[in-house]
Structure 1
């Protein structure tokens, strides 16, 4: 497998980017992803948007907003060919989770190896003819906007917050005022623009245009709380009523002292070794869950075919449409895949899965200590992908 250079300017190290730019300010990376140039054409994305299992959205924009009507119209998948007939001049189609459809595209995540892989969300493509856009908006997550075909003009403005007012009665979170522009340039194929969370941005296709969004996202507290609660239901000790100090008080009153005592015991449990284990498992399950349903391959290699391919030079790699990660505990390395803890692995299997989770491409000689049937099962589960030698 060809090594993919990091998507950063030569003058900026990964440490500098994370210290000076990450979630702080935008960065233009000229020719940051040249591998993406002409990897796909517009017709490829239209065809993909029509697939029954695709997660796609078609946005159309009227030339002007009529009273009582939205200027934008949104239709979600499934889409059909008639949806692309008689379109207005300005429209865009978005397709999510492209890693599911193209492992080769998924491998480009390696260009962002300075970001932990558990923070990677998915790769989305936006196709639009000249003039097409998705309006002025912001995202709550970090995104690398990579131009793959054609060109798009990007404008960046102010950082938004909870007080930002959106245009009423539209199917999208759009606003009119981006404040003073801090960036206004045209990206050509291969260029990449990093946009931090909540920074307003507006992209307009200059011609037939494919823009690939490499989105990075962290879990929210509600997801972690829900996961901790689910895990806690398996701990019988947590169902034992708490012992609380009792002071004389009105019979109908819940005093602040009682609430404080309950809170103190809850925090004590969460800060204990048992609490650490619960939180570690909760976070691991949340961040390893897929955002989209798995698309099972129509056919895959059986065990003999897999081993034959590896012996002939194919490499085994993590499938970037799935979520494979590990954490180190006092009991050793624990692996998770797609929201589930993987148990029953021997040391050799753990070592190989750790290397795969870290983005390595493994050859036949790297996996000889792992049972061939286990390798085949990983392939069937979608954890790994085989890059067959040309």
Structure 2
């Protein structure tokens, strides 16, 4: 291991051995080699340790394990506290780094020497079809002002085209300077698991914007994600709230206006908790509560589309409607907010809009299904891949080792 590595790549893992294998390989095959790789085993079954032991001995790879099984927030805190590198990248066990990713991030840091947080593009990989999904986060590289990102969070539908959500430094899509996290821990006790928060990714985004006035977005695909079916966030979006049970006493939703277990409600709650904790008392005055309730209604529509039971959806809908009435919203205002949410939902799913957003993928779909036996065409257009590692740019035979 490098004595003081430039990067610490931290992989917290829990019972996803085959996905973990890809994550580890994507780090060990990086072209930039000044890193340590920490795999934190959150009391997994034996198969996880077998995956780690299957790799040749490498001084850069460290295996750690907490004394007791931890919830996700505590585990992220434990795992990242082991890091000694200058910058930390948290890589969940279902994600992989693309080839040359560390080299690209290092180039940004060399250019912007005082930057503390770098967010970057991500892309979904459909491992059962061996191709990319339709949503990806890329764009023009640029510096974002922290206030701009927070104001956008407070005033935009976070699934809409006007949202800057994808560009915000949320740890799962970003790299942070280790000394900043250490400073937060000295002052506040922890980085990820402040009491009352439930979303380690968004909670870290709010903390990051309080610690620095700017963040750099690297407009390139740095990370690929697979295993959406086992993602806490994806299952939560479908109405599965079992994640909350793992948080125990740490989970509180008292800051939210509506008592519904929604992703956006948790994010809003964490925003209030963290800004209160930092002594920022003026923020509620500028929060757009029309947008808050529109986001809840939009998420309800998404849950229905994803197959959540109608009984649960009706219960959630009643709770949101009741909360709007309790906060003084007129019948007309409630109708306007509902129409705003419905408009965003329909626009995002319109055939024309979906085609324009993903025309390259649709074009590849057409070519592949029209000429699916043409290997040369597939090689040119890179429609299908042998694995997520080859999609990430690694040599197929090296990735198999």
TM-score range for the pair, normalised by the shorter chain length: under 0.3
User: TM-score, normalised to structure 2's length?
Assistant: 0.27
User: TM-score, normalised to structure 1's length?
Assistant: 0.27
Larger Rg: 1
In terms of fraction of residues, the more strand-rich structure is: 1
